[in-house]
Amino acid sequence: MVKSSVLGYPRIGADREWKKALEAYWGGKITEAELHAALRDIRQANWRKQQEAGIDLIPVNDFSYYDQVLDTAVMFGLIPKRFGYAGGVVPLSVYYGMARGTDGATACEMTKWFNTNYHYIVPEFEDTVPTLTDNKPLAAYREAKEALGIEGKPVLLGPLTFLKLSKGYRPEEADSWLNRLLPLYVQVLRELEREGVQWVQLDEPILTGVLDEADLRRLRGAYETFAAAVPGLNIMLQTYFESAEHYGRLIALPVRGIGLDFVHGREGNLQAVREQGFPQDKTLGAGVIDGRGIWRAALGEKLALLEELSACVPQDRLIVQTSCSLLHVPVTTSRETGLAPILKDALAFADEKLAEVVQLANGLGGRSEPFEAALAESGRAIEALRTSDDRNRSDVQQAAGRIAAEPAERSLPFRARRPLQQLHWQLPVLPTTTIGSFPQSAEVRKARQSWRKGEWSQANYESFVDGQIDIWIKLQEEIGLDVLVHGEFERTDMVEFFGEKLAGFAFTANGWVQSYGSRCVKPPVIYGDVAFQGPMTVRETRYAQSKTALPVKGMLTGPITILNWSFVREDVAREHIAYQLAYALRQEVEALEKAGIGMIQVDEPAVREGLPLKLSEQAAYLAWAVKAFRATTCTVKDTTQIHTHMCYCEFHDMIAPIEEMDADVISIETSRSHGELIASFEHHTYPLGIGLGVYDIHSPRVPSVDEMTAMIDRALRVLDPSLFWINPDCGLKTRGLPETEASLRHMVEATKQARAKLTALV
């Protein structure tokens, strides 16, 4: 009998109950006991749903109160001293302090989870002593068994991945730290073995990236330690997001199972299995259902793949599963009543993917009449969308082809544009600005909801938005900012807003996924050819500019961020879709310029998020990503200043591609990583305008003037003051008014002090 499994399930709930419970607790509206009860209900409902779908190996401990990497750090007592942890079970105040910061301690760094749109909290090793505070996988296993009779599969982040994703130690200390962690892993696994656990999933996605011999030695040593310590425990060493590197070394490890991604790593993993076979003493976890995408599986193709694999691996040692955790997709399509039937029929969210996994496991065991019907239905739905008019617009495809073939360059290089822009704008040294958005108050959200429901007319809504712009233009002037923004009060999400105004996009009613913490996003669906349909941002930006003599930036989301933060069609190359987006957004840039807006920010926070994990594929991706950005912005006048923004990724190895984007000014997050990006500029001269975020907007704390001054001083040791801008590290939409105003006033005061120092040096 072929078994079925998934690697994880969305934690947020169909109605984002998880998010609502967390934010109610943070806001003091519910007690800690009520929070535990609310999250227990969600967790058990998730297990029940998988149980009812027929999943054989149901993951437990994939649920989290914030983030699974943070959970691992907390379980091992890796709490930075600044949070005042005194030992024992970690209290929620410390747990959430690490994630969000406190009045007296900055939050731990946050960065992206491999090449996904999820972000995790980075563990810090430097001033901590690891100790097991709580066996969370064991508690989850017991709960599932006692509450629902489920023989769960505990999930735990593997030791090599945990080590490699952490910070606060020198490379030569890696072995020492691994040796401190392994006894804690062994303790967790022994307790699971004694409890009677059958399978444990140890996630090692790091194995799909670049590994050196030292990493492979550590990997071997860790799993040999586990094999000796828990010989009766079935360990599934799970990889995902790409094909496994060093396949031969991987399958030689002393584990009972190896999980491989046959969706995003299909080519490499399938080739490895064909050429090197698969061990007779191991179980293969075949990740054939896409855990990251929302499209219905072509069941016939998936079945053929499984049949090929079953020629190498007997069916009693084959588990049909998702390619990765379903954390990255919405919960269910069942409530998407507003989508066109041709599109809805082609979608599969988490619950539908559970059904696909079970269908394939059953179909591989024997093709029944229900399976044949499901096979035919999947083929019909996929073909109907593929041949639809929305996916076959020749005008759009030809325009994208021209973008791909033509050079994308400004009429003058930056060194020639810069003096023209300086003369035109007359900005002070160290100009100050913000990234774009201002707090979206309850009043703003209520007004938008009233407009969307039809309770407010378009005129009423626009009048309200204009009133918010009036308030914030005046406040920005009072605070003393040099370059203003209109505040983006008309926008819910920086990608959704543009998708709603472009052809080729669709929007779900409940297609929420977790981005970080309680932040949930509802990615647009790029299902057809993308096309410009008219100005999208001109009205609000032009109105804001009419209210001040200071420059107001036009604000757009760039083509690569829209691409990477959307669910994207699979029938054409992502590069081609990027060029469709670039052509559409170029028309918006030109419309802003025509309306008198001479500073235009085209945000690309997600450029690095789409970077392939394989080194061999990265150069090609960066080439077309950079070209798409330049194609969006290259037609403006020399005096028009193009800005862009990037945040919450590791950029030290991307300075050259960032420079190639040829933006006149780029702002990059650096505060939450405690200025580590600045070190990159100590080895690489950056010749364009740049702003390094001087405070973290994802924490509610108000940083002091001295903190910001220290960040500015360090940056100015390695960057040209005449090219340096000062700004927060990201948009301010999620912050409250008092903390936003206080932080910006501190930022302006820190800038004044920095200007005074520069003047004294002249």
pLDDT tens across 253-272, in order?
A: 999 999 999 999 999 999 99
Asked if the model's pLDDT at residue 362 lies above 90, the reply is yes
- Structural tokens at position 251: 């399958």
Of 571, 643, 651, the C-alpha closest to 609 is 651
Asked if the model's pLDDT at residue 675 lies above 70, the reply is no
| Distance, C-alpha 664 to centroid of its chain | 26
The average pLDDT across 124-148 equals: 95
Q: What is the mean pLDDT of the chain?
A: 94
Say which residue the tokens 């093709």 belong to: 367
Residue 730 marked as a ligand binder = yes
Residue 669 marked as a ligand binder = yes
At 671 the pLDDT is: 60
In whole angstroms, what is the distance from residue 377 CA to residue 370 CA? Answer: 11
In whole angstroms, what is the distance from residue 43 CA to residue 34 CA? Answer: 14
- Structural tokens at position 638: 């020399």
Residue 312 marked as a ligand binder = no
At 676 the pLDDT is: 61
Residue 603 marked as a ligand binder = yes
Q: Is 328 a catalytic residue?
A: no
Residue 520 marked as a ligand binder = yes
Residue 436 marked as a ligand binder = yes
pLDDT tens across 30-74, in order?
A: 999 999 999 999 999 999 999 999 999 999 999 999 999 999 999
- Structural tokens at position 59: 């993951």
Residue 19 marked as a ligand binder = yes
Do 264 and 292 touch, CB atoms closer than 8 A? Answer: yes
Asked if the model's pLDDT at residue 312 lies above 70, the reply is yes
pLDDT tens across 1-35, in order?
A: 899 999 999 999 999 999 999 999 999 999 999 99
Q: In the CATH scheme, what is the code of domain 415-761?
A: 3.20.20.210
pTM (predicted TM-score):
0.90
Residue 435 marked as a ligand binder = yes
Active-site entry in 119, 643, 698, 746: 698
pLDDT tens across 145-159, in order?
A: 999 999 999 999 999
In whole angstroms, what is the distance from residue 16 CA to residue 34 CA? Answer: 16
Asked if the model's pLDDT at residue 200 lies above 70, the reply is yes
Asked if the model's pLDDT at residue 349 lies above 80, the reply is yes
Residue 647 marked as a ligand binder = yes
Number of H helices, E strands in the chain: 27, 21
| Distance, C-alpha 479 to centroid of its chain | 33
Residue 418 marked as a ligand binder = no
